Amino acid sequence: MRILFADQFPTPAVEALVEEGCDCELMPGLTAAEIPAASQGFDVLVVRSTGVTADVFENSPSVSLVIRAGAGTNTIDKEAAAGAGVIVANVPGRNAVAVAELTMGLMLSLDRRIPDNVVAATAGEWKKGEFSKADGLMGKTLGVIGFGSIGQEVATRARAFGMEVAVVAKARSEAASDAIERLGVREVDSLLDLAAASDVVTLHVPANGDTKHLIDTEFLAAMQEGATLINTSRASVLDEGQVLEAMGSRGLRVAVDVFEDEPGSKEKAFTSAFAQHPDVLVTHHIGASTQQAQDAVAAGVVDLLHQYRAGALVNAVNMDSTPGGAVLTVRHQDKVGVLSDVLYELKRSGVNIREMSNHVFAGAGAAFATIRVSSDISPEVVALLNATPEVIYCSLRESD
């Protein structure tokens, strides 16, 4: 398996893959425009923040898997990948602690004005009176928007600081529901209710159509005077112009790790009215950039590659998860061509297959296939399948 790492990746992890027989190339300086040509002949492409455009899938037919060494996949053209039959997978949750730690650091920095303290002292200015006016975090309410792995880690740390935590009530995963109960998180009815109830709002959502400019004029107007807003998720979640206006009219305090049109390279001069506003506290998109997080993400990527080599799809984000159809179970002799005959009968009947797996019994010479289809199968087709040579028995049931 040939693997191209188009961003920085820990050397020990790459060396381990090489020892397993993988052909690995590290090209961390590649730009999005250079990846289509560079990825030709590779089976797997691994990226962090570098964009993966449709040109990759048009020019590199050998690429069958793109791995985002992190959680967000908004920089990858997932629709083009799906059209080319390429899997896009991510490694969620591995950098959650790192982002949560930065979030708490930004929260403290805004409350205690730590950067301003340092700048003044470095300039030889003693302003103890001015910098002694912090509110403190204990007893304040933190509104968390996005209660996945990062949001849960932030809530855990906020509770340790004596803060109350609030989220919007909605259907959640079992892990998130357990965290809400364990941490004593309060649920409110809507985003606007969350804005009104929170002294601090922190954002931990992906970039998509539902979250674009989630923080808009209406949300900002509902926030408390002088409240704090922190964004360590994606720049598109904020309407930056409206945030700047709310800072001036309502005294909001803002800290971000991401902003629109941020530089794509590690070092570069840039101009941004938002990021360079004197009252916006900015870090350099470093939320996941701790060694602990990078090692954890690397381990997740290696594990995902192992699973892929074994034929398993793990954390694939561009697969169709639409329920429905029916599930055909086929118990059959473990012989060459049996499943081919079954698939031929399905093809003749105009039945399209959505998912399929086949498992062989130990020492029995038999196997068990599960085929999820996208259309109804008539009793006559099932009868034909049961009459197929070396098929033991076929049965049909509705999909879960």
Active site residues: 234, 262, 285
Measure Cα distances from 89 to 129, 148, 226 in Å. Answer: 52, 17, 40
Alpha-carbon dihedral angle through residues 68, 70, 71, 77, given to the nearest 10 degrees: -20
- What is the spatial order of strands in the sheet that 280-282 belongs to? 186-188, 164-168, 141-145, 200-203, 228-231, 253-256, 280-282
B/e letters for 156-174, b = 16+ CB within 10 Å, e = fewer, are: ebbbeeebbbbbbeeeeee
- Between the two ends of the chain, the Cα-to-Cα distance in Å is 35
Query: Do residues 341 and 335 make contact, with C-beta atoms less than 8 angstroms apart?
Result: no
Query: Do residues 301 and 89 make contact, with C-beta atoms less than 8 angstroms apart?
Result: no
Query: Do residues 210 and 237 make contact, with C-beta atoms less than 8 angstroms apart?
Result: no
Q: How does DSSP classify residue 107?
A: H
Query: Do residues 31 and 10 make contact, with C-beta atoms less than 8 angstroms apart?
Result: no
Q: How does DSSP classify residue 80?
A: H
Can you give the three-state secondary structure of 349-365, one letter per residue?
A: CCCCEEEEEEEECCCCC
Query: Do residues 337 and 98 make contact, with C-beta atoms less than 8 angstroms apart?
Result: no
The residues near 365 (Cβ < 8 Å, ≥ 6 apart) are: 333, 334, 335
| Percent composition of the chain: helix, strand, coil (DSSP 3-state, to 5) | 35, 20, 45
Please state, as a whole number, how many other Cβ atoms lie within 10 Å of the Cβ of residue 363. 6
Q: Of the candidates 47, 40, 95, which has an alpha carbon nearest to the alpha carbon of residue 67?
A: 47
